[in-house]
Amino acid sequence: MQESLPPPVTYPDSLILEVHDLEVDVLTGVYSEETHLPQPLRISVIADMAVEDRYTPDTPLSASKSYMDLKFAATDGIPKDVHFTLIEAVADHIAETVFMQDDRVSAITIRIVKLAIAEANESIGITLRRNRPAPGARAL
């Protein structure tokens, strides 16, 4: 008796936009020495997008998303006058901004490294992944 092979695994097409290693000063921190001055953070943003059937040489930018939108969400989109106790809240703010910018973003991953606490060039921080909330669901 011959064993049949399982069907091949297929994965849906995907488009992933990425902006890495943006250095941004953000009011964040729990400890008293952290709360009065902006802290330097290194932020990376990865957005999962709906993908077109095909991209041709003349496909317009509207068929994708501008990388500058991701950069804005992780830099100028972060309020300068708001103190974020946790860097997780910074990541959620970035996620909300990107989700509001474009309905085609299905999920987002934000990595934040706290540069000021590194002692030997190590990376200390968080990675947060959020899926787009279902319509009518509670916001992030």
Identify whether 136 is part of a domain.
Answer: no
Identify whether 116 is part of a domain.
Answer: yes
CA distances in angstroms from 98 to 38, 46, 69, 75, listed in the order given: 23, 10, 7, 12
Longest dimension (CA), the chain: 73
Q: What is the reported pLDDT for 99?
A: 96
Identify whether 111 is part of a domain.
Answer: yes
Residue 69 domain boundaries = 15-53+60-131
Higher pLDDT, 138 or 13: 13
CATH number at residue 73: 3.30.1130.10
Averaged over 99-114, what is the pLDDT? 96
The pair phi, psi for residue 41, each rounded to 5°, is -120, 150
CA distances in angstroms from 130 to 11, 96, 127, listed in the order given: 20, 9, 10
Identify whether 8 is part of a domain.
Answer: no
Number of folded domains in the chain?
Answer: 1
pLDDT in tens, 111-137: 999 998 888 888 899 999 999 988 876
Identify whether 45 is part of a domain.
Answer: yes
